[in-house]
Structure 1
Amino acid sequence: MVKISELEQVKKCSGTYVLAVNDTLNVIHGKWKLPIIGSLHFGKKRFKELAREIPKITPRMLSKELKDLEVNGIVTRTVHGTIPVTVEYELTKSGESFNDVLDVMVKWGLQHRKNFMGKR
């Protein structure tokens, strides 16, 4: 977790601030990563559970995005030696720390929708 004093220092330097934003975007870029992280926010899930919870994602894309999130240390993949093999995905500590960001995004999205739809 970033200390407040460290965050205040970053806010004083636009270059460092932009670099940190880009680092975040490099990990979560794409259409599907945030919905996957959001789904795993509620606990471990098997592949099929994730596929059912995220409308319109193809199995191929889900597999690709899960691998990418695993490489970036956001998701862990656990293979259980059952027959058939069971694979579960869950957020790492780093992935769990992203929940605060998601909560702020959800709050903003709800307020924006209310304001935007209210003007139409």
Structure 2
Amino acid sequence: PLYKLARKGIEVERPPRLIHIYYFRIKTYQRPECEFEVACTKGTYVRSLAQDLGQNIGCGAHLKTLRRTVSGNFKIEAAIRLDDILACDMGSLIASLLAPSLANAARP
């Protein structure tokens, strides 16, 4: 995947693809850094989106960090911290797990 190459600093030509940006919101801007939030279709290269935006405004851009907060049916708000998992008993842990049918419901 491209993200593994990007982490190694390897540039790869990325073929254009049709994507949808549902929303794009600038959270903070303190020159030269900008923090934004984006909701987009799967397969969107957010690193490429940042580079394209920088190119369009004439200053260049790259991602310093990337945090995925939603993937399919999984949302970061529902995540359980590792410390909490390690501290709970097996019954509580099992009760907090998603059924495989729910976890895979968003998959084709």
User: Would the TM-score normalized by the shorter structure come out above 0.5?
Assistant: no
User: TM-score when scaled to structure 2?
Assistant: 0.24
User: TM-score when scaled to structure 1?
Assistant: 0.23
Structure ranking higher in strand proportion: 2
| Structure of higher CA gyration radius | 2
Structure ranking higher in helix proportion: 1
